[in-house]
Amino acid sequence: MKLISTIAKVGILIFFVQSAFAAATGEPIRHVKTDEKVVALTFDDGPDKPYTEQILGVLDKHNVKATFFVLGGNAKAYPDLIKKIMKDGHDLGNHTMSHSMMKNKSVETMKNDIASVDKILRNLGYEKEITFRAPFGITSPNLKTALQQLDKRMVLFTFLPQDWTKISSQQIYNNVMKQMKPGLIITLHDGGARRENTVKATEMLIDNLQKQGYRFVTVSELLKLQK
């Protein structure tokens, strides 16, 4: 029992060291190394009606938890959806106020933008860690510095299935399955445009991956599994 307790403590220590390193360096997390058949399902650019609601319905139907990287402006416009996301047990992440390109902005401008989104989510009652995802997945030295000063981790994606383009739900599904492996961070979109195909692809992915023995976890849960 003492050995098990010691191993557990070492695992927890490694997780916090890795977390601190990611926050200290501002380096993005794109996937997690794990032998477990787990993936994190994430959605960007919302919340938005009716697609966030439809995706939440699919997730609830299959008892799957996901992570929503939200825009501050959308969170202010749809506080009911933010509260629904929280009530259903999903994670929330910060995707800037308006999805504007961060690359050429000053450190202070970036910090103010990111902090504004955090404040909106905190005021709506979100208490867990708020990770950050850069618009378009584009980072810069200034952004890394801003995140270091905010002690915030950046979670990007392993790849992009291109669901924001005019491709079918089957194509979205195929794009994900071609890259499938344990520790994957799947990035889809619940906001920004018409997302009927994303909603359909989400259900297809959940159905088939669960049959293959995969388990869906939130980003915060996935990061704890880092080897």
Known catalytic residues are 44, 189
Three-class DSSP category at 40 = strand
Give 168-177 contacts, CB < 8 A, sequence gap 24+: 168/197, 169/196, 169/197, 169/198, 169/200, 169/201, 169/204, 170/201, 170/204, 172/197, 172/198, 172/201, 173/201, 173/204, 173/205, 173/208, 176/201, 176/205, 177/205, 177/208
Residue 148 CB-density burial (10 A; 0-12 exposed, 13-18 middle, 19+ buried):
middle
Q: Is 183 left (phi over 0), alpha (psi -120 to 50) or beta?
A: left
